[in-house]
Amino acid sequence: MRIIRNSNLCYACKTCQLACSFHHTKTFWPERSSITVSRNPQDGTIKWRMNATCDKCIDEEEPLCVKYCMYGALQISDKNADKQEVKDND
Amino acid sequence: MIKTGNIKGCLAGKILRIDLSNKKIWTEETKSYAEKTLGGRGINSLIMINEIEPRVKWYDRENLLCFGVGALVGTMAPGACRVDISTINVFSGGKGSANVGGFWGPELKYAGFDNLIIVGKSKKPVYLYINDDKVEIRDADFIWGKNTFETEDILRQEIGDDNIKIALIGPAGENRVRGSAIMIDTAKAAAGSGVGCVMGDKRLKAIVVRGHKKIEVAEPERFMKIVSKCYQKCKNNPNKEAWRKSPLNFYADPEWKEWTTSIVVRNGQDDYWEKEKRIELMNPKTGIPSMGKKIRACYCCPIGCMPFMKIDNGKYKGTQGEGLWVNAIWGHACRFDISNPQAIVKAWLLTNELGLDGDYVAAGLSWVFELYEKGIITKKDTDGLELDWGNSEALIKMIKKLAYREGIGDLLADGMVEAAKKIGRNSGYYLIQVKGQPSIESFRVPKGWALAVSTSPIAGRHLRGATFGSDDCGPKPRPGKFNVTDYQNQASGVVWQGKTKEIEDNLGICSYVGTWFGANFLDIEDFVELINTGMGLNLTEEELMDYYAVIGRNLEKAFNALHTNMSREDDLPPKRFREEEVKSGPYKGFKIDENRYNEMLDEFYELWGWDKKTGMQTKTSLEKLGMKDIAKKLLKKDKLVI
């Protein structure tokens, strides 16, 4: 399973970062998230990164970052994943 | 007073205090304040009324500049990102407050602080650097004089951390222009009440925050179940798609009902704008909507409503930036009769760049345009500018003059009421202001809106209860459909919307995600569940609405009573709208009928528990809220009804 992000759909709300931290710590702790999101308000660009601590939320029904992304930007990859436009860092 | 019990979560735990005069930094516990008001604005209001003596003016060193991050901010509660900024209102002398979203508030909580209270004044320009417990007052000579975009860039380079969040002022705030904003992420303005002017007066250019700590909730698993339910509710709400495009896009439809109920044209000469101008401004292919390139959301927001604008052609080609709001249509366009979409986007982004309050710009400068039309001022006074209706270049030049106090800008920067006194010749009559603060709001057509804006404790502005009727919003069961132009049934909707806003500002939940204006993504029952599982309390909806919502409004009203001479007269709409009728359109002939308005006002006072005749607070209602000490202070000043 892969978690993929469509940069065109991302609104940079950082909910994924915070949800991920809850999975790891049962608290809201962005520093302990596997995801980091930063954005430049002046040119509208977003930097989205996932580090090696991601365990795909092994004990959850679905990864929390995917579950709480209200914009459909994060998805679990399926057999068609290669055909989707995926940009992790833009 | 309500017994809240022991707060067990959601708070960062500390209030950071800074004295800029003596360069002193200290902290105190948040808890005792939060038990009385939950958080955010409530805590700011409590601190202000307890600590600021009535003799203190906005420019005195004893004035406080208070940043209050809502109680639920930092958790995953949907839309919990808001910060209240309170200080003495530079227009009314009473309570000032502005509210802003973005990412700065959550970062302050992750640094360990719920509120930041600043007293004193620095002799030299400074900025604050808050990195968890490391708090420094740093020299700001190198950024003083820079606009908001430049300042953000320079500070990011200087500090070298992508994750810092910055609240800052632009040249307008530095120059103590009364209507100055504090900008967050260069795009979101805490704009009203002159909060940026106070920050500039304290010689404080910016507050840089970086936080690495965590926010804990009382019952993590139960809290997340409620959070999950709330996100689903937002996701399933049929209003989501329309709001997500940005609310200003409602106006892309030239038949949108609020084109005739929410706007004021040519500084109040009319409340109707011709259809061809609406189409030119808001044409989806060539107008403002075509320049919205993408949408950006605030922290943990499930809606997402902030457009990122870029001008692709014409004179202002290349101008870009986050943010454009409905106020740009109401203010920068309609009030000046400007239908050139590029010019409106340019003027709005310039307002952000210079750190001005858009409403102050629009209401203040459109007044000056009308004075020019009437010959009360001439080209001699405007440094040669022809302030004719529709002249967008003149507007853009005037915005710069205002921020930098150039020429006539210097006169206007000290406040339009003061300027009217200097200009004379009945100019004050044409100035649309509420309790001293210039206002872009509509009064003659929507009556609930007029009531809320006129009675707002922070000198106008619509977020303290304005409603366009109650068919989509209001208390449940909803009173049903009724005409927004009627006087009947409005007061209860305005009080309900005012109360929910009190709660939203204490919790830090954006009212777009909350109860505002019929969006209804989250409701009072959701707030109660989030508070109870997050903070570990056991509140009911009634306690939230009848105590926490009411104490917030009463703290601000009491502050006004102690610090100003406001009376019932100050809760009336601007005189012009009581005397002059709407000249054209479907509401031709409408104006405020004072008798009918006063009936509405009577009901409004009664619903808040205030004296109907004077509008003053009563001993009984304040004591019920546990505000005995404040009641005593008011009684001493003869500002309480027994």
Does B349 reside within a domain? yes
The size of chain B, in residues, is: 642
B174 touches chain A (CB under 8 A): no
B234 touches chain A (CB under 8 A): yes
**Which residues of chain B are under the pLDDT cut of 50?**
none
Residue finishing a domain among B403, B418, B438: B438
Q: What is the pLDDT of residue A1?
A: 81
Q: What is the pLDDT of residue B238?
A: 85
Angle, vertex CA B508, rays to CA B503 and CA B509, nearest 5: 80
Give the start-to-end residue ranges of the domains of chain A. Answer: 3-79
Does B454 reside within a domain? yes
CB spacing of B212 vs A31 below 8 angstroms: yes
Rounded Cα distance, B116 and B434, in Å: 29
Q: What residues in B contact A61, CB-CB < 8 Å? A: none
What would the DSSP string read from start to end of B377-407? S-TTTTTT----TT-HHHHHHHHHHHHHT-T
- pLDDT at position A79 over 70: no
Does B4 reside within a domain? no
- Token digits of residue B137: 């007052």
CB spacing of B214 vs A39 below 8 angstroms: no
The CATH number covering residue B543 comes to 1.10.599.10
C-beta pairs of A81-89 under 8 Å, 24+ apart in sequence: A81/A2, A81/A4, A84/A4, A84/A6, A85/A6, A85/A8, A86/A4, A86/A5, A86/A6, A87/A5, A87/A6, A87/A7, A88/A4, A88/A5, A88/A7, A88/A48, A88/A49, A88/A50, A89/A47, A89/A48, A89/A49
Rg (CA), chain B: 23
Identify the domain containing residue B291 by its residue range: 246-438
Query: Tokens 């992000």 map to which residue?
Result: A5
Q: Give the minimum alpha-carbon distance from B437 to chain A in angstroms, rounded to a whole number.
A: 29
Ramachandran region, residue B485 (left: φ > 0; alpha: ψ -120 to 50; beta: rest): alpha
**Number of CB pairs, chain A paired with chain B, less than 8 A apart:** 90
| Chain B interface disruption, residue of A42, A45, A61, most B CBs within 10 A | A42
B376 alpha-carbon distance from chain centroid: 32
Looking at the structure, tell me whether residues B418 and B464 fall in a common domain.
no
**Taking a C-beta distance cutoff of 8 angstroms, is the pair B341, B347 a contact?**
no
Q: What is the ipTM of this complex?
A: 0.95
Pick the residue from chain B with its C-alpha nearest to A15.
Answer: B300
Q: Give the minimum alpha-carbon distance from B466 to chain A in angstroms, rounded to a whole number.
A: 28
Q: Which of B214, B294, B302 lies at the smallest CB-CB distance from A29?
A: B214
The contacts of residue B444 (CB under 8 Å, 6+ apart) are B271, B450, B577, B581, B582, B587, B590, B591, B592
CB spacing of A28 vs B293 below 8 angstroms: no
CB spacing of A43 vs B320 below 8 angstroms: yes
A65 alpha-carbon distance from chain centroid: 5
Exposed / middle / buried, residue A3 (Cβ in 10 Å: 0-12, 13-18, 19+): buried
Query: Tokens 């209270």 map to which residue?
Result: B117
Looking at the structure, tell me whether residues B347 and B279 fall in a common domain.
yes
Is the CA virtual torsion B201, B203, B208, B211 positive or negative? Answer: negative
Q: Give the minimum alpha-carbon distance from B607 to chain A in angstroms, rounded to a whole number.
A: 38
- Token digits of residue B627: 């505000």
Residue finishing a domain among B210, B236, B258: B210
A43 touches chain B (CB under 8 A): yes
What would the DSSP string read from start to end of B208-234? EEE----B--SSHHHHHHHHHHHHHHH
A19 touches chain B (CB under 8 A): yes
Looking at every residue in chain B, the average pLDDT score rounds to 95
- pLDDT at position A80 over 60: no
The contacts of residue B49 (CB under 8 Å, 6+ apart) are B555, B558, B559, B562, B630
**B235: helix, strand or coil:** helix
Q: What residues in A contact B74, CB-CB < 8 Å? A: 28
**B486: helix, strand or coil:** coil
- Token digits of residue B189: 């303005």
Q: What residues in B contact A26, CB-CB < 8 Å? A: 220-221
CB spacing of A14 vs B300 below 8 angstroms: yes
- Pick the closest to residue B326 from B306, B310, B308 (CA basis): B306
pLDDT for A28-70, tens place per residue?
A: 999 999 999 988 878 888 999 999 999 999 999 999 999 999 9
What is the arrangement of strands in the sheet containing B165-168, beginning at the earlier edge strand?
Answer: B134-139, B126-131, B204-210, B165-168, B182-184, B188-190
Q: For chain A, what percent of residues have pLDDT higher than 70?
A: 86
Domain count, chain B: 3
Q: Give the minimum alpha-carbon distance from A48 to chain B in angstroms, rounded to a whole number.
A: 12
Q: How many CA atoms lie within 13 A of B284 on its CB side?
A: 7
Does B309 reside within a domain? yes
A18 touches chain B (CB under 8 A): yes
Query: Tokens 């603060």 map to which residue?
Result: B437
pLDDT for B219-270, tens place per residue?
A: 999 999 999 999 999 999 888 888 887 777 889 999 998 999 999 999 999 9
A52 touches chain B (CB under 8 A): no
**B545: helix, strand or coil:** helix
Rounded Cα distance, B461 and B439, in Å: 7
CB spacing of A42 vs B321 below 8 angstroms: yes
Q: What residues in B contact A30, CB-CB < 8 Å? A: 110
A24 touches chain B (CB under 8 A): no
CB spacing of B76 vs A71 below 8 angstroms: no
- pLDDT at position A88 over 60: no
Does B630 reside within a domain? yes
**Taking a C-beta distance cutoff of 8 angstroms, is the pair B369, B363 a contact?**
no
CB spacing of B300 vs A41 below 8 angstroms: no
The CATH number covering residue B312 comes to 1.10.569.10
Looking at the structure, tell me whether residues B368 and B513 fall in a common domain.
no
Does B222 reside within a domain? no
Q: In one letter, which amino acid is B367?
A: W
H or E element in which residue B598 lies: helix B594-608
H or E element in which residue B154 lies: helix B148-159
Q: What is the pLDDT of residue B473?
A: 65
Q: What is the pLDDT of residue B243?
A: 81
The contacts of residue B238 (CB under 8 Å, 6+ apart) are none
B216 touches chain A (CB under 8 A): yes
Q: Give the minimum alpha-carbon distance from A1 to chain B in angstroms, rounded to a whole number.
A: 23
Interface of B with A in 479-518 (CB under 8 A): none
Q: In one letter, which amino acid is B85?
A: I
Looking at the structure, tell me whether residues B332 and B425 fall in a common domain.
yes
**Taking a C-beta distance cutoff of 8 angstroms, is the pair B321, B347 a contact?**
no
Q: What is the 3-state secondary structure (H, E, C) of chain A?
A: CCEEECHHHCCCCCHHHHHHHHHHHCCECHHHCCEEEEECCCCCCEEEEECCCCCCCCCCCCCHHHHCCCCCCEEECCCCHHHCCCCCCC
CB spacing of B214 vs A44 below 8 angstroms: no
Pick the residue from chain A with its C-alpha nearest to B353.
Answer: A42
Looking at the structure, tell me whether residues B405 and B466 fall in a common domain.
no
Looking at the structure, tell me whether residues B202 and B274 fall in a common domain.
no
Q: What is the pLDDT of residue B2?
A: 58
Q: What is the pLDDT of residue B78?
A: 97
Interface of B with A in 112-171 (CB under 8 A): 149, 152-153, 162-163
DSSP B332: I
Confidence band, pLDDT 50/70/90 cuts, at residue A83: very low
Looking at the structure, tell me whether residues B594 and B546 fall in a common domain.
yes
Looking at the structure, tell me whether residues B425 and B520 fall in a common domain.
no
The contacts of residue B477 (CB under 8 Å, 6+ apart) are none
Q: In one letter, which amino acid is B514?
A: G
Looking at the structure, tell me whether residues B427 and B521 fall in a common domain.
no
Q: In one letter, which amino acid is B543?
A: E
H or E element in which residue B33 lies: helix B31-37
Does B408 reside within a domain? yes
CB spacing of A11 vs B217 below 8 angstroms: no
A60 touches chain B (CB under 8 A): no
Residue finishing a domain among B438, B471, B488: B438
Looking at the structure, tell me whether residues B184 and B308 fall in a common domain.
no
Q: What residues in A contact B320, CB-CB < 8 Å? A: 42-44
Q: What is the pLDDT of residue A84?
A: 40
Does B1 reside within a domain? no
CB spacing of B216 vs A27 below 8 angstroms: yes
Q: In one letter, which amino acid is B340?
A: N
**The CA-based dihedral angle spanning residues B403, B409, B410, B414, taken in that order and rounded to the nearest 10 degrees:** -80
Q: Where are the alpha helices (DSSP H) in B237-283?
A: 240-244, 275-282
